[in-house]
Amino acid sequence: MSQYGPQVDMAAPGKDMVAACGDGTDICTSTGTSDATALASAAAALIWSKHPDWTNNQVLKVMLNTIAAPNDGGKRNDYIGYGAIRPLRALKTPGDPGPADVRPIDDLKEAVTASPSGDLPSSTPSSAPPAPAPAPQASTDEGGNTGLWIGLGIGAAVLIGAAVAVSALRSRRG
């Protein structure tokens, strides 16, 4: 595991990932969060492509509904968070996506909104850093995030294509 701790919410494969390298004729392996992040975001994009009217909260809820939970018996742990992603299960049996405006993980606090003068509200201690802004909601307007989803879909297709190419190369060598 390259990352662990209370900030981990879910896990994805990221060890010994196969990819093209060099001039495109060589195959290399890599390990790390970049590979895991690509797979997790591709899983989210696949879910969103099947349910384009869902918000990011609903996609996250479905990913949480269908993860492989920690096998230590706990609800979450610092190594895989709430569990490992399972994209096929999320697509086939997503479960209840929940309300559109409710974040399914309560680890992010509401953003502190500044007053028009730019001062923080008096109930917030001045030494506390402002909380992160909530994640943006998916746009339901026509063409709102179309470019983003097309890019994510192309990225997922490239990952799948690379996996198929590697498999074909290995079968030819054997």
Structure tokens at 136: 């943006």
- Closest C-alpha to 104, from 143, 134, 68, 142: 134
Give the C-alpha separation, 49 to 13, whole Å. 21
Give the C-alpha separation, 143 to 21, whole Å. 35
Q: What is the pLDDT of residue 57?
A: 93
Tens of each residue's pLDDT in the chain, 174 residues: 568 898 888 999 888 888 888 777 788 888 888 888 888 999 999 999 999 999 999 999 999 999 998 888 888 899 899 999 999 999 999 999 999 999 898 765 443 333 344 444 443 333 333 444 444 444 444 445 666 666 666 777 777 776 766 666 676 765
Return the bridge partners of 26, or none. 21
pTM, 2 dp:
0.57
- Please, which residues have CB within 8 angstroms of residue 103's CB and are 6 or more apart in sequence? 57, 60, 134, 135
Q: State CA 116 to chain mean position distance.
A: 34
Give the phi and the psi of residue 81 in degrees, each rounded to 5: 60, -130
Residue type, position 112, single letter: V
Give the C-alpha separation, 113 to 23, whole Å. 50
Structure tokens at 141: 């307007």
Give the C-alpha separation, 154 to 139, whole Å. 20
Residue with tokens 């500044």: 114
Question: CATH 3.30.460.10: does it fit domain 1-103+146-174?
Answer: no
